[in-house]
């Protein structure tokens, strides 16, 4: 993690790419999507077959904080032809990219958000709540000041209005709370120990079966440059 | 990130053996003179009071001087109430004279533009240089019932009344106006304050320092009115170490998150949501109104804590039985069905309309009340009582007095609301020292507050230790 952050700061980045953001998040033991960076259409096909269809493809850049709006996200790709075509379209947008991310499609109806922000008086704060594209409209979130105890994490999970979604839901098993607690405590610890990280968005955090998986993430840096 | 506290004690702010009021004169409407008058005439402060003014004249019987340097005896506390521009020089004079504790009541500092900020930093600089502790600027000062000391400017003669009724609640207030409201309200309450201190712009002493101080003195409950938090981490770590109840009412609930943030998280993290979370983590009870600052503490000083959420309601009015049931659910409290044993005992007493919860009785003699208290408080499936009986005969006052004693014996609290006029409630509360609440809502809220404090007791721990160990 230290290495990724150091390089990004040296390069004057304001944020990390999705790929690097997930590496930072994964380092505290939070499961992320299986994914690899492709630098050509052919390479993308090889990776897609390795990961298994369907796949998602995303243009990967530290300057692409709003990938969907920029046309850099292609979902549910099921054939080699679709992957090649998606590769060309993403690269064709003219955004400077580190490569194109080929990523497993995680199955799950329940989407949550975990975030980190910094309060001027209280310092690093962890957020948990309902994720997905309507996060800010639904605004069903809770906060805790980092570092978090496991009890803090348990309490903040229970504070959201739609906490019933965490139980058994439409044939899906209950969410693995231990993993969720570990993720919240882990994000808090990142915030408490790394002043060079200003903000984190993990959205969506999709529940695959009972396990939370980070599907998209953004790490914003405190870059003095 | 470590919080370091200055060694110097805050004791001299509350219990000085001598004090100099800088800016007290005989000019009309002089605020410093009101402090001299209060100390000398209203509350008979036992220490020596000096006045500093341009003429060097005596004020309300306090010897006057033109300069701090002319004081012949050592002075423990200086209160400065002069125009802002001359305050830094007076602070330096005090430092040179060896006065270590300064209350600055003057306004016109960081709350008022760049020039004010500059003056405040001059004060900070002087305080550092001489190792002084500063309270304020822009504050009302300090009140201590036990030492009979008060340097609130503008105090009026009625203030004497709070000194006659010492209590266990210490108040930390950021604004003077709230202090006046609290003092007047406490005059009709069970207890007066223990201490009250206004922190103003808190250039040095802040709410966290005072929480620590009140944790060591005779204070039972710490109640705080806050406009903004200076150092959140310091406040949380101090609150975690304190097992006395800490109640906070904070204004500024509507402030929004940082609009310029890159992430969605930062956009949604309003300062208020973060403060709310910090309170839950550090074991601070967040109050919902200024009024709760004086209405809630009595539940914590007069009654044992509510150890569970199962409440028995006892009323002589069916209406208040159902009103309270609604309030109770909203407050997260439960109104369980009484067990067979309790119901059987209640059935044996004559005049009980409803032997279930809420227990409802008609006109009954005092012994019936006492018997029902006994049955409900001794029920192992009941954690506390909500009594809502109007004072329809004078003996209700006697049974309520007895209830307070029984609560102590059973280690279970009762919140009491008598459906009478507020004037009647206030007069009975004041005359008999009974912890009565003004409304049914307040009584139910008091039970919730008591239970919140009980739960905080169990969870105070320090997560900082874990992180420091890991990084070591």
CATH of the domain at A83: 3.30.1490.20
Q: How confident is the model at residue B7 (pLDDT cuts 50, 70, 90)?
A: very low
The helices-and-strands tally (H runs, E runs) of chain A is 7, 10
Q: B232 and A123 in contact by Cβ < 8 A? A: yes
Sign of CA dihedral B279, B283, B284, B285: positive
Chain A residue with the nearest C-alpha to that of B472: A193
In this structure, the answer to whether residues A94 and A152 fall within a common structural domain is: no
Identify residues of A whose CB sits under 8 angstroms from chain B CBs: 14-15, 65, 113, 115-123, 125, 127, 135-136, 139, 141-145, 147-149, 151-152, 155-156, 189, 192-193, 198-201, 203, 218, 220
Q: At residue B117, does pLDDT exceed 90? A: yes
List, for residues A32-60, the tens digit of each pLDDT value.
999 999 999 999 999 999 999 999 999 99
Instruction: For residue A118, give the H/E element and its range.
Output: strand A111-119
Q: At residue B472, does pLDDT exceed 80? A: no
> Nearest by CB to B271, which of A119, A142, A151?
A119
Q: A121 and B271 in contact by Cβ < 8 A? A: yes
List, for residues B67-108, the tens digit of each pLDDT value.
999 999 999 999 999 999 999 999 999 999 999 999 999 999
Residues of A in contact with B265 (CB under 8 A): 113, 115-117, 127, 199-201
In this structure, the answer to whether residues A129 and A80 fall within a common structural domain is: no
B358 against A169, higher pLDDT = B358
Q: At residue B301, does pLDDT exceed 50? A: yes
| Predicted pLDDT at A144 | 97
| Predicted pLDDT at B254 | 59
CATH code of B303-457, in short, is 3.40.50.261
Size of interface A-B (CB pairs under 8 A): 105
Q: How confident is the model at residue A87 (pLDDT cuts 50, 70, 90)?
A: very high
Q: Could you tell me the two tokens for A97?
A: 């990219």
In this structure, the answer to whether residues A16 and A55 fall within a common structural domain is: no
pTM of the predicted model as reported, rounded to 2 decimal places: 0.91
- Encode A14-39 in three state secondary structure: CECCHHHHHHHHHCCCCCECCEEEEC
In this structure, the answer to whether residues A155 and A190 fall within a common structural domain is: yes
In this structure, the answer to whether residues A71 and A176 fall within a common structural domain is: no
Q: Where exactly are the structural domains of chain B?
A: 14-153, 165-301, 303-457
Q: At residue B281, does pLDDT exceed 70? A: yes
> Nearest by CB to A192, which of B236, B269, B467?
B467
Q: Domain span at residue A73? A: 35-104
Spatial distance between the Cα atoms of B14 and B244, rounded to a whole number of angstroms: 20
Q: A218 and B461 in contact by Cβ < 8 A? A: no
Q: How confident is the model at residue B264 (pLDDT cuts 50, 70, 90)?
A: confident
In this structure, the answer to whether residues A15 and A42 fall within a common structural domain is: no
Best of A143, A150, A152, A203 to mutate (most B CBs within 10 Å, chain B): A143
B266 CA: distance to closest CA in chain A (Å): 5
| Predicted pLDDT at B399 | 97
List, for residues B136-178, the tens digit of each pLDDT value.
999 999 999 999 999 999 988 888 888 888 899 999 998 888 9
Please say whether the beta carbons of B373 and B400 come within 8 A: no
- Provide mean pLDDT across the span A79-107: 94
Q: B467 and A116 in contact by Cβ < 8 A? A: no
Q: A122 and B268 in contact by Cβ < 8 A? A: no
List, for residues B362-402, the tens digit of each pLDDT value.
889 999 999 999 999 999 999 999 999 999 999 999 999 99
> Nearest by CB to B262, which of A125, A135, A220?
A220
| Predicted pLDDT at B255 | 57
Quick check: helix, strand or coil at residue A69?
Answer: coil
Residue percentage of chain A with pLDDT more than 90: 88
Q: At residue B191, does pLDDT exceed 70? A: yes
| Predicted pLDDT at B465 | 46
Residues of B in contact with A205 (CB under 8 A): none
> Nearest by CB to B232, which of A122, A144, A151?
A122
Nearest to B416 by CA among B314, B279, B345, B290: B314
In this structure, the answer to whether residues A70 and A156 fall within a common structural domain is: no
The two domains B165-301 and B303-457 share their CATH topology (first three levels equal):
yes
Into how many domains does chain A fold?
Answer: 2
Low-confidence winner among B79-93, B331-345, B351-365 (lowest mean pLDDT)? B351-365
Residues of A in contact with B461 (CB under 8 A): 149
Q: At residue B116, does pLDDT exceed 60? A: yes
List, for residues B14-70, the tens digit of each pLDDT value.
999 999 999 999 999 999 999 999 999 999 999 999 999 999 999 999 999 999 999
Beta bridge partners of B12: none
Q: How confident is the model at residue A63 (pLDDT cuts 50, 70, 90)?
A: confident
- Residues listed for chain A: 225
In this structure, the answer to whether residues A126 and A73 fall within a common structural domain is: no
Q: At residue A88, does pLDDT exceed 70? A: yes
Q: In CATH, what class is B14-153?
A: alpha beta
Q: How confident is the model at residue B260 (pLDDT cuts 50, 70, 90)?
A: low
Q: A117 and B276 in contact by Cβ < 8 A? A: no
B252 CA: distance to closest CA in chain A (Å): 14
ipTM: 0.89
Q: At residue B460, does pLDDT exceed 70? A: no
Residues of B in contact with A143 (CB under 8 A): 269, 273-274, 276-277
In this structure, the answer to whether residues A61 and A151 fall within a common structural domain is: no
Name the domain boundary from A69, A104, A139. Answer: A104
Q: A122 and B266 in contact by Cβ < 8 A? A: no
Residues of B in contact with A116 (CB under 8 A): 265
- Encode chain B in three state secondary structure: CCCCCCCCCCHHHHCCCEEEEECCCCCCCCHHHHHHHHHHHHCCCCCEEEEECCCCCCECCEEEECCHHHCCCCCCEEEECCCHHHHHHHHHHHHHHCCCEEEECCCCCCCCHHHHHHHHHHHHHHHHHHCCEEECCCCCCEEECCCCEECCCCCCHHHHHHHCCCCCEEEEECCHHHHHHHHHHHCCCCCCEEEEEECCCCCCCCHHHHHHHHHHCCCCEEEEEECCCCCHHHHHHHHHHCCCCEEEEECCCCCCCCCCCCCHHHHHCCHHHHHHHHHHHHCCEECCCCCHHHHCHHHHHHCCCCCCCEEEEEECCHHHHHHHHHHHHHCCCECCCCCHHHHHHHHHCCCEEECCCCEEECCCCHHHHHHHHHHHHHCCCCCEEEEECCCCCCHHHHHHHHHHHHHHHHCCCEEEECCCCHHHHHHHHHHHCCCEECCHHHHHHHHHHHHHHHHHHHHCCCHHHHHHHHHC
Low-confidence winner among A161-165, B92-96, B211-215, B251-255 (lowest mean pLDDT)? B251-255
Query: Any idea which architecture B165-301 has in CATH?
Result: 3-Layer(aba) Sandwich (3.40)
Q: At residue B318, does pLDDT exceed 80? A: yes
B335 CA: distance to closest CA in chain A (Å): 22
In this structure, the answer to whether residues A65 and A128 fall within a common structural domain is: no
Name the domain boundary from A62, A80, A104. Answer: A104
> Nearest by CB to B263, which of A115, A139, A149?
A115
- A95-A101-A102 Cα angle (round to 5): 140
| Predicted pLDDT at B6 | 45
Q: A117 and B266 in contact by Cβ < 8 A? A: yes
Q: How confident is the model at residue B256 (pLDDT cuts 50, 70, 90)?
A: low
B131 CA: distance to closest CA in chain A (Å): 26
Give residues with Cβ within 8 angstroms of B124, minimum separation 6. B134, B203, B204
In this structure, the answer to whether residues A78 and A169 fall within a common structural domain is: no
> Nearest by CB to A125, which of B269, B280, B467?
B269
Identify residues of B whose CB sits under 8 angstroms from chain A CBs: 228-233, 236, 257-258, 261-269, 271, 273-278, 280-281, 459, 461, 463-464, 466-467, 471
In this structure, the answer to whether residues A20 and A122 fall within a common structural domain is: yes
The mean pLDDT of chain B is: 91
> Nearest by CB to A220, which of B263, B463, B467?
B263
Residue percentage of chain A with pLDDT more than 70: 100
Name the domain boundary from A86, A104, A122. Answer: A104
Residues of B in contact with A220 (CB under 8 A): 262-263, 266
Q: B269 and A144 in contact by Cβ < 8 A? A: no
Q: A135 and B277 in contact by Cβ < 8 A? A: no
Q: A122 and B467 in contact by Cβ < 8 A? A: no
Spatial distance between the Cα atoms of B232 and A119, rounded to a whole number of angstroms: 9
Chain B residue with the nearest C-alpha to that of A122: B232
The CATH number of residue A191's host domain is 3.30.470.20
List, for residues B195-249, the tens digit of each pLDDT value.
999 999 999 999 999 999 999 999 999 999 998 888 999 999 999 999 999 999 9
């Amino acid at each position: 993690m230290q290495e990724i952050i150091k390089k990004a700061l040296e390069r004057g980045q304001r944020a990390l790419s999705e790929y690097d953001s997930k590496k930072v998040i994964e380092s505290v033991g939070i499961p992320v999507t299986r994914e690899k960076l492709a630098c050509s259409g052919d390479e993308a096909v090889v990776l897609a077959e390795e990961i298994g269809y369907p796949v998602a493809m995303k243009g990967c850049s530290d300057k692409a904080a709003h990938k969907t709006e920029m046309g850099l996200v292609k979902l549910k790709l099921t054939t080699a032809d679709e992957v090649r075509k998606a590769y060309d379209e993403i690269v064709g947008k003219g955004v400077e990219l580190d490569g194109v991310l080929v990523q497993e499609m995680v199955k799950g109806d329940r989407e949550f958000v975990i975030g980190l922000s910094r309060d001027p008086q209280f310092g690093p704060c962890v957020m948990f709540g309902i994720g997905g594209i309507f996060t800010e409209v639904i605004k069903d979130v809770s906060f805790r000041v980092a570092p978090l105890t496991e009890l803090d994490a348990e309490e903040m999970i229970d504070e959201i209005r739609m906490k019933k979604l965490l139980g058994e839901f439409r044939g899906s098993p209950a969410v693995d709370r231990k993993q969720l607690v570990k993720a919240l405590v882990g994000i808090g610890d990142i915030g408490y120990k790394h002043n060079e990280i200003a903000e984190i968005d993990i959205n969506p955090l999709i529940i695959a079966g009972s396990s939370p998986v980070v599907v998209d993430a953004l790490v914003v840096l405190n870059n003095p440059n | 990130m470590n919080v370091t506290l200055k060694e110097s004690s805050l004791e001299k702010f509350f219990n000085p053996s001598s004090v100099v009021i800088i800016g007290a004169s005989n000019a009309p409407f002089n605020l410093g003179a009101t402090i001299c008058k209060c100390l000398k005439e209203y509350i008979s402060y036992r220490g020596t009071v000096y006045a500093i003014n341009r003429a060097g004249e005596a004020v309300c019987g306090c010897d006057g001087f033109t300069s701090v340097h002319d004081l012949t005896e050592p002075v423990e506390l200086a209160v400065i109430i002069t125009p802002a521009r001359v305050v830094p020089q007076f602070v330096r004079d005090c430092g040179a004279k060896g006065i270590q504790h300064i209350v600055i009541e003057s306004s016109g500092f960081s709350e008022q533009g760049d020039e004010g900020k500059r003056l405040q930093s001059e004060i900070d600089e002087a305080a550092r240089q001489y190792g002084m502790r500063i309270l304020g600027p822009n504050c009302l000062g300090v009140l201590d019932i036990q030492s009979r000391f008060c340097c609130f400017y503008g105090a009026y003669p009625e203030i004497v009344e709070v000194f006659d009724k010492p209590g266990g609640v210490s108040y930390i207030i950021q604004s003077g106006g709230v202090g006046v409201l609290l003092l007047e309200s406490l005059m009709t309450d069970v207890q007066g304050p223990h201490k009250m201190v206004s922190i103003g712009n808190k250039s040095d002493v802040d709410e966290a320092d005072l929480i620590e101080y009140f944790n060591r003195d005779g204070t039972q409950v710490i109640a705080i009115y806050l406009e903004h938090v200076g150092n959140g981490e310091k406040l949380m770590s101090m609150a975690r170490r304190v097992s006395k109840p800490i109640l906070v009412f904070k204004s500024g609930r509507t402030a929004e998150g940082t609009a310029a943030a890159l992430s969605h998280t930062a956009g949604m993290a309003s300062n208020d949501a973060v403060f709310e979370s910090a309170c839950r983590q550090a074991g601070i009870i967040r109050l919902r109104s200024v009024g709760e600052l004086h209405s809630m503490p009595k539940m914590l000083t007069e009654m044992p804590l509510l150890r569970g959420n199962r409440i028995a309601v006892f009323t002589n009015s069916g209406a208040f039985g159902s009103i309270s049931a609604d309030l109770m659910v909203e407050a997260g409290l439960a109104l369980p069905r009484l067990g067979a044993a309790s119901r059987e005992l209640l059935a044996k007493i004559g005049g009980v309309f409803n032997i279930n919860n809420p227990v409802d009785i008609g006109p009954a003699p005092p012994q019936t009340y006492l018997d029902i208290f006994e049955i409900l408080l001794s029920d192992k499936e009941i954690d506390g009582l909500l009594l809502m009986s109007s004072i329809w005969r004078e003996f209700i006052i006697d049974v309520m007095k007895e209830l307070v004693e029984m609560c102590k014996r059973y280690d279970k609290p009762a919140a009491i609301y008598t459906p009478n006029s507020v004037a009647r409630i206030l007069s009975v509360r004041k005359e008999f020292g009974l912890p009565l609440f003004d409304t049914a809502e307040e009584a139910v809220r008091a039970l919730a507050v008591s239970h919140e404090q009980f739960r905080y007791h169990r969870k105070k721990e320090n997560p900082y230790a874990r992180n420091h160990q890991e990084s070591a």
